[in-house]
Structures are given as C-alpha cells and as structure tokens.
Amino acid sequence: MDNNENTTEKKWSVKDFNYPVPEHAKHFGYTVGGVTVIGFILLAVTGIIMALFYTPTVDNARQSVLNLISNPWGMWLRSFHRWLAEAVTFLIILHISRVVFTGSYMGRRKWNWMFGIGLLVITFTFFFSGTAVKWDQEGYEAYQHALESLALVPMGGAIAGFLSGALAVMRLFTIHVLILPLFLLIFLIPHLVLMKLNGLSPIPGKASTQTITFYDHMKKIIGFSAAIFGFVAFLAAQFPVELYPGPYSGVEMTKPPWIFLPLYQLEDWFGLGALVVFPVFVLIGLVLLPFIDKKIDNRKIRNIVVWSYLILITIMILFIVNVAVKPPVQHLSM
C-alpha cells in the first residue's frame, strides 16, 4: 500500500484578493493613487487611438493633428487626452501632498516613496513630450527650452544633439509612446507591490481596528474615477484644447501649460539655468525627506516639513497666477 500522503494543492480564487484594509481606505485621500492609475490607463487608451492618425515627422506632425481634429470626435478625443493629462498630473500632486501631510513615507515605506518620486518625474516628462510632439508653436518652444536646458548639464549637449534635426519629432514621439510607458511600468509595478506588502498607511494619531474589504476600497476608487474623469470628458466637450500655429523659429509667443508656469516665472528672474537648478533642488529635497522626517511623533520636525511644503505649494500657485495674467516674454536664444 502506498504510504505517500495525499496533498491538496492551493487553488487561487477571486476571493483571495478581497482581503481586509483599514476603514479609512474609503476616504478620497487614500483612493487618489488608485484614481491616478485609472487615469494613466485612460491616457494609454486614448493615446493609442490618436497614434493611429499621427505622422511623427517635422513636416507633417502638426498637419496630422489638424486632420484628426477636423472631425468632431477627433477634436473631443484630443481634448480629452490633454485634459486627462492635466487631471492626472494634478492628482499625483494631491497624492504626494497626502503622503507628506500624513508622513506616509516613514520607515519601510520610504522605498515606496522613492518609486513615487520616479513616477512624478515620469509624469512631468510625459506632459512635456506630449506638448512637444504636436509640433505647433507651443510644442516647438517647449522643445527649444529643453534643448537649451540640456546644454547646461553634463552630457546634455550630446542628448540635445540626438534630439535635434529632421528626426526630432520621431524621436520625441518614440520617447512619449514607448520609452516613457516602459519606465512607467518599471516604477509603477514595485510601487503597487510595496503598497500591498506594507499595507495602507494609517491616519496619524487615529488608531483604528475597523476594516473594510479591498473590494469596497476598489468600489470607492471606481466611483471617484467615474466622477472625476466624467467631468474631464465634459470639459473636453465644452472647452476644446487649442492647437497653435507655426512653428516659427526665432520668436517666443506662447506660455507653457500651467504645470510649468512656476518654472517660467523663475526663468524670468534667473534665466534658463533655473529650469535645471530648481527641479534638481526639489527632487533632492523629496529624496531626503524620509531621512529627515523619521518619526511621526517628532512634532517639531513634522511641523517644519508640513509648513515648508505648504509654503512651497503656495509660492508655486502665486507664480502660476502671476505668469498667467502676464504676456509672454522672450527667453530663448533661438
């Protein structure tokens, strides 16, 4: 008689993913990361559709966009993609703000914070490249700013040279639709895995044993996503995004999207070098944050961090408002 014992193999089911999560997972602040992921998915879908109608060449890029928006549905699709990009960027800023205010980068969560910083950089690079590839005056001026800024950093001249010339649009488009999505997955997957392993961060000073299911958490994410992106779809229909003329070399007649207006203000004051120095300064501060603010009960450090962040955000908002009401000025040496 066979003495080997029968073993039962573990079978996975959908119910295995319906694990308990803290009750505050239903609050908007703790769902905004998930809403942002859904926004990225929508950006990918709309971007793939638009890519079918886009010609990534210096001579034909803008004309292909004009051909797309000559159809009302094409106009709405492009507007929805652009409004989505702005919404996703704003949501990421909200997500980072919630993490800062709750100190959710402390302890073992600091490595997830690092992946989040990478995702922030990737998002802003997405927005820049998406602006540039339409190759109108706004996109061309963004492109020229990038080239002149790259020339100020080590090895930047070689990168600027690679992105110059007749293949400029094709290479920018490749970065936008292939390289950046790859980096997005490289950073997003471990970000989500670490979030699962570490668990949802608690609300400071509010210990709670109450839980909800992960499905309940997902329902909230889907509900908030439907409301937010439904509103974005409405904005796309009511306020189609502009395609500028051009591009015209040797003149600067546009201002960048609101996301980059603080840099525009600093460039007014300190010159082109501000486009390099300020982002590097902010990134270094974000990277060092978990090593400076280590304990949630250290009220002195916590207050300094929170108030410094609030002051920085306030200054950025004031810069945006100030630049928005002023006419464009010449920065470039093109």
Question: Model confidence over 169-194: pLDDT tens digits?
Answer: 999 999 999 999 999 999 999 999 99
Q: What is the pTM of this model?
A: 0.91
**In three state form, how does the secondary structure of 159-196 look?**
HHHHCCCCCHHHHHHHHHHHHHHHHHHHHHHHHHHHHH
pLDDT digits (tens, 9 = 90+) for 110-125: 999 999 999 999 999 9
Confidence category of residue 1, pLDDT binned at 50, 70, 90: very low
For 17-72, how does the pLDDT look when each residue is reduced to its tens digit (9 = 90+)?
677 888 888 899 999 999 999 999 999 999 999 999 999 999 999 999 999 999 99
DSSP assignment of 25-38, as one string? GGSGGGTHHHHHHH
Please say if the pLDDT value at position 249 is more than 90.
no
Q: What is the pLDDT of residue 17?
A: 65
Bond from prior residue into 247 cis (ω within 30 degrees of 0): yes
* Alpha-carbon gap, residue 67 to 255, rounded angstroms: 24
* Cα maximum dimension of the chain: 91
User: Rounded to whole angstroms, how far apart are CA atoms 217 and 24?
Assistant: 9
